[in-house]
Amino acid sequence: MSQKIQLKLLDPRLGRDYPIPAYATEGSAGLDLRAMLDEPLTLEPGATALIKTGIAIYIGDPGLAAVILPRSGLGHKHGIVLGNLVGLIDSDYQGELMVSCWNRGQTAFEIAPGERIAQLVLVPVVRADFEFVSDFVASERGAGGFGHTGRH
């Protein structure tokens, strides 16, 4: 089953010069996001840039959100990941999808106009009624964390 999600193309080059990078038109698992730059952008080691994608989204359903994730190849081979590590797109957001690109590598990397720089997937969000209590019911783990169970 798939859900209708509204997208708005804000850059005339999308669909004309660069294919709109939905993984599929129906029942799509997600969308690649392109760098809608006017000219190539060199990201020096350690540098971060906020890059327009030319697509606005309105998810609408409060039971969903979207996440922007790095592309594996760019991250692994070239050190290009996200400045915010993961981008969360709220269901009521109606603006342009922006990608924070961070060069965590040791060498400069040039991003070309139209290049696919990140990917977006939709995720279900569980709505919770947070309840503040003074004590939790005991659990096996309790408050142990951060390696509490050992390495092997």
Ligand X SMILES: O=c1ccn([C@H]2C[C@H](O)[C@@H](COP(=O)(O)OP(=O)(O)OP(=O)(O)O)O2)c(=O)[nH]1
Q: Please state the residue numbers annotated as binding site.
A: 71-73, 84, 88-90
Tell me the CB-side half-sphere exposure of residue 115, using CA atoms within 13 A: 20
**Bridge-partner residues for 95, per DSSP?**
none
Only one of the segments 6-14, 34-42, 82-90, 136-144 lies at the binding site for ligand X (rule: CB under 6 A); that segment is 82-90
Position 51 contacts ligand X (CB under 6 A) = no
Position 98 contacts ligand X (CB under 6 A) = yes
Give the nearer residue to ligand X in terms of CB position, either 63 or 144. 63
Q: Which amino acid is at 3?
A: Q
Please give the residues from 7 up to 36 whose contact with ligand X meets the rule CB under 6 A.
none
Q: What does the alpha-carbon distance between residue 141 and residue 34 come to, in Å, rounded to a whole number?
A: 44
Token pair 């509490």 is found at 148
Query: Which member of 33, 97, 117, 122 binds ligand X (CB under 6 A)?
Result: 97
Are 98 and 53 a contacting pair, CB within 8 Å? yes
Position 58 contacts ligand X (CB under 6 A) = no
Give the nearer residue to ligand X in terms of CB position, either 55 or 150. 55
Cβ-count burial 93-118 (b if 16+ within 10 Å, e if not): eeeebebbbbbbbeeebebeebbbbb
Query: Which member of 49, 89, 117, 122 binds ligand X (CB under 6 A)?
Result: 89
Residue (of 19, 7, 114) closest to 55 by Cα position = 7
Position 108 contacts ligand X (CB under 6 A) = no
Q: In the bound complex, what is the minimum distance in angstroms from residue 37's beta carbon to ligand X?
A: 16
Give the nearer residue to ligand X in terms of CB position, either 48 or 84. 84
